[in-house]
Amino acid sequence: MKARLEGMGDFRVVVVRNSVLAGALACMMAGQPVLTLAQQEAPQQQTIPDGPKPQTIPDAPSPQGLGVGPVTPGAGTTPDSNGDTSAPASQDGAVPTKLPTTAAQKQDDGPPPEVATGGQGPDAFTLRVQTNFVEVPFTVKDSKQRLVPGLTWRDVRVYENNLRQQLALFTVDPFPLSVALVIDQSMTYDNMTKVNNSLAALQGAFTPYDEVSVFTYNNGPKMQTDFTGAQSARLMAVLDRSKAPGREPLYYDTTGPLGQNININGGQDSHTDPNTNATHGTSILGIQNVPRDVHTLNDAILAAATALSKTKTGRRRIVYVISDGKEYGSTAKFSQVVKYLNTNKIAVYGTLVGDSSLPVIGFLDRMHLPLTMRDNILPAYASATGGNFDGEFRQKGIETSFAKIAEEVRTQYTVGYYTHQPFIDGKYRTLEVKVLRPNLTVLAKKGYYPTAGDSRPAGIVSVK
C-alpha cells in the first residue's frame, strides 16, 4: 500500500509539473508574465490599508487686469499668423522662432509705411509735403508817401473773403527780383527822348542777384532779350537798342481838301471812298471821327507776364512799365490780363511819363468813358496787382523814379498763411491787409486766383 502511494505520489508530481508547463505556455500566448512555481505556491500577503489622504491645497488667485491671453506656439511666424488669424498648431515640444505679437507692439509700429515700387532708385527716398500756403507781399506808406519801417506781425491783420487768417509767416527780408521791363515806343518824340536819355540810369537800380528781361511795344509787343543778369553788359546793350524816335503828335485837319471824306453814289447808297478817307468815317450824327493811334499796352504786359510765369519760385515777379499809360488796339482785354497777373503772383509797377504824369491832367486821364481810348490805364494795373507807379514829367525825375520803385519793391513786408478754403477751385478770393496804426496806406493786391501750382509740394527733403 505504501509503495502504491509512493507511486501515486510520483504520478502526482509528474501531473503537477505538466500542468505548470501548460499554464506557462498559456500565459506566454496571452501576453501575461510567467510566474515560477515558487511564486505560485507562495502564500498571498494581506493588503495593508492606506492612511488618511492629505487635503488638497487651493491655488493662489490669478492676477487680474493684465489682459495677457494664452500664448499660441508658432503665432507670428508666418504672414497669416501676425495676430489677426491663428497660426497652425506646432509639434509637441517645438520652440517658436519669434515672440508672439501683442496689441501693444502693433500700436507702437504705427501705420504701415509706403512701399516703393521697383525701379525708383533714389526717388524712393524723398519726402513730399502738400501745402495750401498763400503769400502776400505789401507796402506801407504814411501820409507823405514815405515808406514805413519797423512794423511787427502784431500790427498786421490779413482777411481772405472777409475772414481773418492766422499768420504763419512774417518777414521783412528782401527777395531777389525777376523784372520784365516794358518800354513804350508809341509815345510822342519829346517824351521818347526823355525816356531814351534816362535808360542809362536804369541798370543801377538793380542788384547782381536780380534778373531782367526787356520788352518793347509800338503796334505790338516784341521781346528784345530774355532774362539776363541785371548787372551784365548784355542788358546795357539791349537798353541802347531799345531806344526809338517815337511818333509825331497827331495833327487833325478838317479844313483842307484831305480833311474831308469823298462820298460815292450820293443818297442812300453812298459810301466813303477808302482811298481818301482821312477821318475813318463819320458817326451816326454826321460828325467826323478822329483817327486813333494804336497803343498795345495790354498785349505788352501779357507778353511780359507770360515770360515771368516761367521763372523760378522764391523770387519777386515784377512787370515794370515805362509808358504814358495809353491803351488802344490790344487783342487782350484788361480783365483777362489782370486775372493772369494775379494767378501767377505778378505785380505791375511803372514810371508814368508825359501829360498823364501831371496831377490834374493825370487825374482826368484815369477816367475812362465807354467806347473811348483809355488815356491812362497804368494806375488800374498797379492797384489791381498790389503794385505802384511814379509819375514824372522831367528826365531827372524819370531817372530818380527807377531807384525809388526798386527800393519800394525790395523793402516790402511779406506775410503768409494757410488757407482753409478748398484750394483748387479756381474761384477769385478777395484779400485785405490792414495795419493797426493810424494814417497809414497799405498797398497790396486785392485778391488772387488759386491754382494747382499753389498746392504743389512745399519742399523735397532727401533722406540719406
- Asked if residue 430 has pLDDT above 60, the reply is yes
For 326-343, how does the pLDDT look when each residue is reduced to its tens digit (9 = 90+)? 888 899 999 999 999 999
pLDDT confidence of residue 455: 56
Greater model confidence, 53 or 386: 386
Which residues lie across from 350 on neighbouring strands? Answer: 321, 389
Closest by CA to 433, choosing from 147, 170, 143, is 170
Give the whole-angstrom CA distance, residue 362 versus residue 382. Answer: 15
Q: Report the range of poorest mean pLDDT among 106-115, 147-156, 194-203, 286-295.
A: 106-115
Query: What is the model's pTM?
Result: 0.64
Computed on alpha carbons and rounded to an integer, the radius of gyration of the chain in Å comes to 50
> Is 177-247+293-392 CATH 3.40.50.300?
no
For 36-59, how does the pLDDT look when each residue is reduced to its tens digit (9 = 90+)? 545 555 555 555 556 566 666 666
For 84-141, how does the pLDDT look when each residue is reduced to its tens digit (9 = 90+)? 554 455 555 555 555 555 555 555 555 665 555 555 545 555 555 556 888 999 999 9
> Three-state DSSP class for 458?
strand
Per domain, the residue ranges of the chain are 129-172+416-462, 177-247+293-392
- Asked if residue 305 has pLDDT above 60, the reply is yes
Most confidently modeled of 76-80, 205-209, 366-370?
Answer: 205-209
Q: Report the range of poorest mean pLDDT among 199-203, 253-257, 342-346, 392-396.
A: 253-257
Q: Assess contact for 141 and 147: CB atoms under 8 A.
A: yes
Give the whole-angstrom CA distance, residue 224 versus residue 232. Answer: 15
Confidence band of 4 (pLDDT split at 50, 70, 90): very low
Give the whole-angstrom CA distance, residue 159 versus residue 410. Answer: 24
